[in-house]
Structure 1
């Protein structure tokens, strides 16, 4: 493989992605707004810390693992590029903004793919993400060898913005399912049922999901309480999904309820809390005035 790759953003997701690319010998540069994140990643000597034009000059493919598409525009503003360079937007973002960014980057000489991801930090560490890609099929084919180093499955959804649209739908369903599972298992707990056995029943029946099969056993029931993402991230995801649904004139009552619960969690000081704690906090977050007297 001769393609040189750079990664912008070395947080929970970006660090695992970059390490896998480094192990494969294709990572040449990486950056983060906090330079200590680069040092903590402990890359090989082939990887340099670069930003802006210096990073662009070294890479054929630039993977952006930052909070949103807005940060990509800021990071690359004023840069120039050769016609073979491809920007891969791995964020969760508004599809309309993705389309605008694609046009802005095209004017600078970049190609652009929105490649929203799922699999969490554990999936990033293992190189086992699932990617939802929007954009030019030829550009996607050109970088598939690199994407195969970080993902088990890559789905091409259509034109630019399609990947980010699918991610908003995915996250609305996932986070709503998480809270529904929290609600059901809190009820099971009130009924005196053993939570481990209750989860086993879910997983043997039709209510099983990633939440019951992985999230609860791995991150909650064993007391770890470490889903490696915070409540504010989920709240952001649902807020974006609600805005997207409004633009589509779609009715999403379950998504709206999930968004309201997450917003309440953030407003009551839990934004920086690992979201696994939403399970023990669930009744507190959904109780109505006067509910305390009924408990």
Structure 2
């Protein structure tokens, strides 16, 4: 059983999501180590006596829970099992918490491999974005053993306000991909409707106001459009390439099981068009500005 103590949690990856997650774990008194190649990301921890910085061996000796906020499960596997990996230093009973957006098959494989070393693994899809990570209000959908989730839930609750155990290893990441497919598809449908309404001389603001008073309301209409699109801020804090990765993985796992996914596939195709015109590093809210162009390019395929 994992004993939850002060300063016994390591956070690997302090990017858009990881920085907020680490901050909230630290505020709860659990943070014991951070790892990131970006010197700016770790600078605030360098002078902290009880927090190890980029010290893998001491981190493995002192921490019992490792929270990975990196691009993929594949990268976690490399960090642990590559030639210079940390597997030889990890203690039996360690819990790995995988907060990536990844292929559930990779999650299941990593879980089984870690079991051979008596190390537990939870795949945790998260939603709420960088704002949720900063505010400690993320929602987690978690795959793995329920008893391990119960053991580490005090840590997870420091940066979330909703935890859902959804099934066996891999199920957390599977649901995250389905969740993101729905979210991104709804974003595109809102973009389409708002831009179409202009042709009827209806303002974007009025469209969103009516949507939010009716059955078309969603997180996209209630938050994303007012805050990131109609405001002109274009600061949804996620790149087009992130959405494209999500949709490709989602449609891939559905196609493997011969599950129909026309809406997801169309959204994925439109994101492919955005990538082709050089938007990969652009904030995805700016898709609103390029929508007709993307559709025209898609129709010419």
Is this a same-fold pair by TM over 0.5?
yes
2:119 aligns to what?
110
Change in CA separation of 1:97 and 1:289 when aligned onto 2, cut-off 3 Å: closer
Deviations 1:267-286 (A, max 9, x none): 11000000010111111111
1:86 and 1:110 in contact (8 A); partners too: yes
Cα distance, 1:16 vs. partner?
0.3
Match of 2:244 among 221, 226, 235: 235
Counterparts of 2:196 and 2:46, CA distance in 1: 45
Cα distance, 1:44 vs. partner?
4.6
Counterparts of 1:43 and 1:274, CA distance in 2: 33
Counterparts of 1:27 and 1:288, CA distance in 2: 48
1:122 aligns to what?
131
Matches within 5 A, 1:47-58: 47-58=51-62
> 1:29 and 2:38 equivalent?
no
2:10 and 2:31 in contact (8 A); partners too: yes
Counterparts of 1:62 and 1:240, CA distance in 2: 25
Number of positions where the alignment pairs a residue of Structure 1 with one of Structure 2: 291
2:254 and 2:261 in contact (8 A); partners too: yes
1:127 and 1:150 in contact (8 A); partners too: yes
Cα distance, 1:252 vs. partner?
0.3
CA RMSD of aligned residues (A): 1.8
Change in CA separation of 1:13 and 1:289 when aligned onto 2, cut-off 3 Å: closer
2:192 aligns to what?
183
1:85 aligns to what?
94
1:52 and 1:75 in contact (8 A); partners too: no
Cα distance, 1:50 vs. partner?
2.2
1:121 and 1:228 in contact (8 A); partners too: yes
Match of 2:66 among 47, 62, 71: 62
Matches within 5 A, 1:1-295: 2=5, 4-39=8-43, 44-77=48-81, 78=85, 79-80=87-88, 81-288=90-297
Give 5+ residue unaligned stretches, structure 2.
none
SS class of match (2:212): helix
Cα distance, 1:219 vs. partner?
0.9
Deviations 1:242-290 (A, max 9, x none): 1100122101000000000001101110000000101111111111599
SS class of match (1:157): strand
Counterparts of 1:42 and 1:129, CA distance in 2: 27
Counterparts of 1:174 and 1:258, CA distance in 2: 10
Counterparts of 1:41 and 1:175, CA distance in 2: 35
Change in CA separation of 1:190 and 1:39 when aligned onto 2, cut-off 3 Å: farther
